[in-house]
Amino acid sequence: MSVRPIVRFPDPRLKLVASPVSDFGAALRTLADDLLDTMRAAPGVGITAPHIGIPQRLVVLELSPQQGARVYVNPHIVSASEEKLRHTEGSVSMPGVTDEIERHASVEVAYQDLDGTAHLEKAEGFLAVCHQHEIDQLDGVFWIQRLSKLKRDRLIKRYEKLLRP
């Protein structure tokens, strides 16, 4: 297990659509462990393989230490509520800036575990937001693309200012 370098915005790899995982061997478990270590070091509550430059459909979420980490392989949203909510979001690939994003209040997510077994999970509130955020990343949609152009431009300027010495 190790902490890996995180791909930073505006790296073009953050716009790539991740490939489905087909090999459920030891390398996948190692990658999941490394993602967890990297996410905790960042710190964050969610991370995808593309965040460390690996274009595979793998997500690790840990909303709290009490709940523990969950690994989602090849996740996709099966259904989403009509009801929406707004939540403050950010990214390990763009540290130091956040903004409010509108998302579905609840979703159903189909995924596989590290052994390749299929699962279906219903999620509401913050967990639903996290699923949508990370699955967007797997689909090559960086979270700031959900903002209006004006808000996105302002956020990028704030981020660039943070990077200046």
**Which amino acids are annotated catalytic?**
134
Distance (Å, whole) CA 18 – CA 30: 18
Cis peptide leading into residue 12 (ω within 30°): no
Confirm if 93 and 14 have CB atoms less than 8 A apart.
yes
DSSP, res 143: G
Tell how strand 84-89 and strand 46-48 pair up.
unpaired
Element (H, E) at 77: strand 70-80
Distance (Å, whole) CA 119 – CA 93: 28
Distance (Å, whole) CA 63 – CA 49: 18
